[in-house]
Amino acid sequence: MKILVCISKTPDTTAKIAFTDNNTKFAGDGVQWIINPYDEWYALVRAIELKEKDPATVIHLVTVGLADTEPIIRKALALGGDEAIRVNGENADPFYIASQLAEVARQGGYDLVFTGKETIDYNGSAIGGMLAELLDMPYISLAAKFDLNGSVATIVREIEGGEETDEVNLPVVVSCQKGMAEQRIPNMKGIMGARSKPLKVLEPVAIAPLTSIASFELPPAKAGVKLVSADNPAELIRLLHEEAKVF
Amino acid sequence: MSVLIYIDHSEAQIKKSSLEAICYGAALARQLGTGAEAILLGTVNEDLAALGKYGVTRIYQVAGEALQHLDSGLFTKVLAEAVPATGAKVVVFSNNMNGKALAPRLAARLKAGFVSGAVALPDTASGFSVKKSVFSGKAFAHISLKTDIKIISLNPNSFPLTTGEGKAEIAPLNIAVGAPKVKVVSATQSTGQVPLTEAELVVSGGRGLKGPENWGMVEELAKLLGAATACSRPVADAHWRPHNEHVGQTGIAIAPNLYIAIGISGAIQHLAGVNRSKTIVVINKDPEAPFFKAADYGIVGDAFEVVPKMIEAVKKLKGIV
Ligand SMILES: Cc1cc2nc3c(=O)[nH]c(=O)nc-3n(C[C@H](O)[C@H](O)[C@H](O)COP(=O)(O)OP(=O)(O)OC[C@H]3O[C@@H](n4cnc5c(N)ncnc54)[C@H](O)[C@@H]3O)c2cc1C
Ligand SMILES: Nc1ncnc2c1ncn2[C@@H]1O[C@H](COP(=O)(O)O)[C@@H](O)[C@H]1O
């Protein structure tokens, strides 16, 4: 059993969102970078749990990013996983990243590819689906549970207002979200061990991106809250009805 | 050169978010001076021709038992044949649960530029760029697409439903459907409730409500308004409320017309899931709660006193005594 977990780097959830270079670049200086929460808490931890059940399992982590992503992938290795691969490419566009990941996945011959549900910066929710298509594998998105019985995976995925249970033969690409696993904190042994785990650097394959970010924009500031007295909630209901017209 | 809109369905019902996608696609087609058509894989228990009132003139339909449940690989193969067959240059999906699985797959197969989470019509004055929500609703990006075929997935509740006159022509499309690789074992849908992702009104509770036994008033207010219920993450983590109600950065992201937050502090990770709501109402006893900065209306007060009075006022408004 070989699992590939796709790891991306995002600004911390509380980072200030601002842009530079005429609003064409995210102002990343001084920002704390973290492993994308979906990749860390759900995709990686579920992979580690599968390995704990079946120690013959091999987990590889992969990230597409320049040298500044190495602390992130090392941090992921401290949680678990046997080795990491960094594809030395820029975050050009989702198709570019998915193509790089597909190349790594083809070389490695994995039974299972985990991604997060989405990156919390660009919120694409695109890479898992693209990767599955490039690999010609089934894709289960927004998975909240994953179980394995031999070569058959049973996966619960979120649908509007409910959930669906699917069965699929490996290999499969799965995008992971809440429910898959519980967040873990890396321990000292993991952190020390991560230093000696192999981290391979590969050069990207030549792929032309299909999209580009022309500019960013911040939402207009809110006009400010209109406060109603706690003695008069009926006035709030009137305002919602007559002024905001929401019901 | 036309715009093709994908119609998503489950349990033989068309999703409301697909109707929004149709209205968006139709508006885009008018902007481009071309026609808007739709495509349905599988069958639904609804009058398809009536969808003409949302602005599509033709609905292509590919039938097949295997198309009643999503298998993104199988559906992608069918759509990849349908797109050139219909001459579509822009394909529009809803960025709903199925759209998230299908749209990027089709984009990879067709090598089409793809924007997910669009919140407005493309700017086509020079080139083709689409505004999308990024950083969990804290900013927008304008993405330029340079490919011949373009794929857009529209965020739910981002484009108004408008209706006019007209019937759509139903055009069966003959495309061989392969065997599915994904077997759907079961599906559960909470019945009688408004699904959170499709709800126009949402009433949400946080840790300020102290315990699950106090949710009665939240549910009553929601029921009176025809709203869905939601909660903050610690509330779901403590199992006071089901996990599928958890909104925020790590939960569901919603964009209803009205979001009422009761006893929720308004942490940045919570706001990330709800800040696209059109009107935000905050009930919190702490005037310093950060949520008030993101709110349109608010009451500084004890939820246990304020909410029952809100319920009374809604009853009066609706003529329920
Ligand atoms: C990476 C990360 C991801 C996260 N993702 C999410 C997420 O997706 N969703 C989410 O919600 N959180 C998320 N969180 C947690 C988030 O930071 C907050 O801890 C959480 O939102 C707080 O929930 P709360 O507002 O219900 O509780 P609290 O912060 O405890 O706030 C309770 C509020 O209720 C008010 N209150 C108390 N009593 C009353 C009363 N009687 N009447 C009226 N008001 C009252 C208080 O003044 C207070 O403002 C995440 C955190 C991290 C680090
Ligand atoms: N640069 C990257 N390197 C490796 N994996 C990535 C990268 N970007 C995104 N992913 C994976 O794809 C998932 C979905 O990303 P996105 O489509 O950008 O929302 C993430 O949760 C990651 O698992």
Strand partners, A53: none
Q: Is residue B299 a part of any domain in this protein?
A: yes
Q: Is the CB of A124 inside a 6 Å radius of any atom of ligand 2?
A: yes
Tell me, in angstroms, the distance from the centre of ligand 1 to residue B85's CA. 51
The answer to the question of residue B178 being in a domain is no
Q: Which residue has the tokens 């409500």?
A: B209
User: Does one domain contain both B211 and B65?
Assistant: no
State how far the Cα of B24 lies from the Cα of B228, in Å rounded to an integer: 25
**What is the arithmetic mean of pLDDT over B289-310?**
97
Task: Check if the beta carbon of residue B126 is closer than 8 Å to that of residue B100.
Answer: no
Do B21 and B102 belong together in one domain? yes
- How many domains would you assign to chain B? 2
A216 CA → ligand 1 middle, Å: 29
| pLDDT at residue number A165 | 97
User: Residue length, chain B?
Assistant: 321
Alpha-carbon distance of A164 to A162, in angstroms, equals 7
For the stretch A118-140, pLDDT in tens is: 999 988 999 999 999 999 999 99
Contact residues on chain A for B281, CB-CB shorter than 8 A = 236, 240
Which candidate in A6, A12, A13 is best for mutational testing of the B interface (most B CBs within 10 A)? A13
DSSP assigned state of B208: G
Q: What is the pLDDT of residues A84-123, one digit of tens each?
A: 999 999 999 999 999 999 999 999 999 999 999 999 998 8
Which of A160, A168, A222 has the CB atom closest to B183's CB atom?
A168
Q: Is residue B29 domain-shared with residue B97, that is, in the same domain?
A: yes
Rounded to the nearest angstrom, the distance between the alpha carbon of A116 and the centre of ligand 2 is 7
Pick from B108, B140, B313: which is nearest to A219 by CB? B140
> How many CA atoms within 13 Å lie on the side-chain side of B46?
20
- Check whether residue B79 and residue B217 sit in a common domain: no
Q: What is the mean pLDDT of residues B297-312?
A: 98
Indicate if the pLDDT at residue A10 is higher than 90.
yes
Indicate whether B143 belongs to any domain: yes
Please report which confidence band the pLDDT of residue A66 belongs to, taking 50, 70 and 90 as the band edges.
Answer: very high
pLDDT of residue B192 exceeding 80, the answer is: no
For residue A176, list its beta bridge partners: A116, A143
Residue B117 structural domain: 2-172
CA dist., res. B300 & res. A128, Å (int): 44
Q: Is the pLDDT of residue B198 over 90?
A: no
Chain B 285-314, residues with CB within 8 Å of chain A CB atoms: 292-302, 305-307, 309-310, 312-314
CB contact under 8 Å between B97 and A140, yes or no, is: no
**Chain B environment of A128 (Cβ under 8 Å):** 104
Average pLDDT over every residue of B55-63: 97
Q: Mutate which of B9, B98, B105, B194 to test chain A, going by most A C-beta atoms within 10 A?
A: B105
Please state, for a pLDDT cut of 70, what percent of chain A lies above it.
100
Same domain, B163 and B271: no
Q: Which of A216, A225, A234 shows the shortest C-beta gap to B139?
A: A216
Distances in Å between the alpha carbon of A108 and those of A96, A97, A111, A112? 19, 17, 9, 11
Name residue B14's beta-bridge partners. Answer: B9
State yes or no: pLDDT of B191 exceeds 70.
no
Q: Has residue B123 been placed in a domain? A: yes
Distance CA A78, CA A74 (A): 6
Backbone angles phi, psi at A98, to 5 degrees: -60, -40
With a 6 Å cutoff on the Cβ, whether A37 touches ligand 2 is no
Residue A112 to residue A166: CA distance in whole angstroms? 15
Q: Which of B240, B249, B283 to mutate to test the pocket of ligand 1 (most atoms within 8 A of CB)?
A: B249
Ligand in closest contact with the CA of A178:
1
Give the Å distances, CA to CA, from A140 to A12, A113, A167, B24: 27, 11, 10, 27
Using CA atoms, how far residue A86 sits from A38, A133, A175, B117, B280, in Å, is 19, 22, 20, 28, 42
A98 vs B contacts (CB less than 8 Å): 104, 108
pLDDT bracket for residue B61 (50, 70, 90): very high
Query: B135, B203, B215, B232: which to mutate for ligand 1, most atoms within 8 A of CB?
Result: B232
Q: Is residue B182 part of a domain?
A: no
> Are A211 and B141 a contacting pair, CB within 8 Å?
no
Residue B189 lies in a domain: no
In this structure, the answer to whether residues B145 and B10 fall within a common structural domain is: yes
The answer to whether residue B184 sits within a structural domain is: no
Pairing status of strand B58-62 against strand B36-41: parallel
Please measure the distance between the N-terminal and C-terminal CA atoms of chain B and give it in whole angstroms. Answer: 57
DSSP string, B99-142: HHHHHHHHHHHHT-EEEEEE-S--B-SSS-EEEEEEGGGTEEEE
Q: Cβ distance A62 to A83 under 8 Å?
A: no
Q: How far apart are CA B288 and CA B191, in angstroms?
A: 38
Question: Cα–Cα distance between A33 and B200 in angstroms, integer?
Answer: 35
Residue B120 is encoded by which pair of tokens? 């407005």
Q: Report CB contact under 8 Å: A125, B300.
A: no
Pairing status of strand A152-159 against strand A139-149: antiparallel
3-state secondary structure of B17: helix
Domains of chain A (ranges plus CATH)? Answer: 2-219 (3.40.50.620)
Q: Are residues B55 and B167 in the same domain?
A: yes
Q: Grade residue B209 by pLDDT with cuts at 50, 70 and 90.
A: very high
Q: Average pLDDT for residues B166-184, to the nearest whole number?
A: 96
From the CA of B269, how far away is ligand 1's center (Å)?
9
Beta carbons within 8 Å of B309's beta carbon, 6+ residues apart: A233, A234
**Does one domain contain both B142 and B20?**
yes
**Residue B37 sits in the same domain as residue B160:** yes
Residue located via tokens 């065997």: B179
Q: Is the pLDDT of residue A217 over 80?
A: yes
Protein residue with least CA distance to atom 21, ligand 2: A116
Q: Does B138 have pLDDT greater than 70?
A: yes
> Who's near B11: CB < 8 A, 6+ residues apart?
B187, B189
Phi, psi of B159 (to 5 degrees): -140, 130
Same domain, B138 and B209: no
Closest CA to B258 of A247, A132, A164, A200: A247
Please report the pLDDT score of residue B194 as a whole number: 76
Do residues B11 and B146 both lie within one domain? yes
Same domain, B162 and B209: no
pLDDT surpasses 90 at B189: no
Give CA torsion, residues B234, B236, B241, B242, to 10 deg: 170
Q: How many helices (H) and strands (E) does chain A have?
A: 7, 15
* CATH number reported for the structural domain that contains residue B107 in this entry: 3.40.50.620
The finding on whether A122 has its CB within 6 A of some atom of ligand 2 is yes
Instruction: For A224, name the nearest residue in chain B, comparing CA atoms only.
Output: B296
CB B68 within 8 A of CB B42: yes
Position B133 scores a pLDDT of: 93
Q: How many CA atoms are closer than 13 Å to the CA of A100, on its beta-carbon side?
A: 27
Using pLDDT thresholds of 50, 70 and 90, give the confidence band for residue B197: confident
Counting ligands in written order, the one closest to the CA of B206 is 1
pLDDT, tens digit (0-9, with 9 covering 90-100), for B261-297: 999 999 999 999 999 999 999 999 999 999 999 999 9
User: Which 3 state secondary structure label does DSSP give B166?
Assistant: coil
Residue B278 belongs to a domain with what CATH number?
A: 3.40.50.1220
Residue B181 lies in a domain: no
- Residue A220, pLDDT > 90, answer no
Q: Is A23 in the pocket of ligand 2 (CB under 6 A)?
A: no
State pLDDT tens for residues A168-214.
Answer: 999 999 999 999 998 898 888 899 999 999 999 999 999 999 999 99
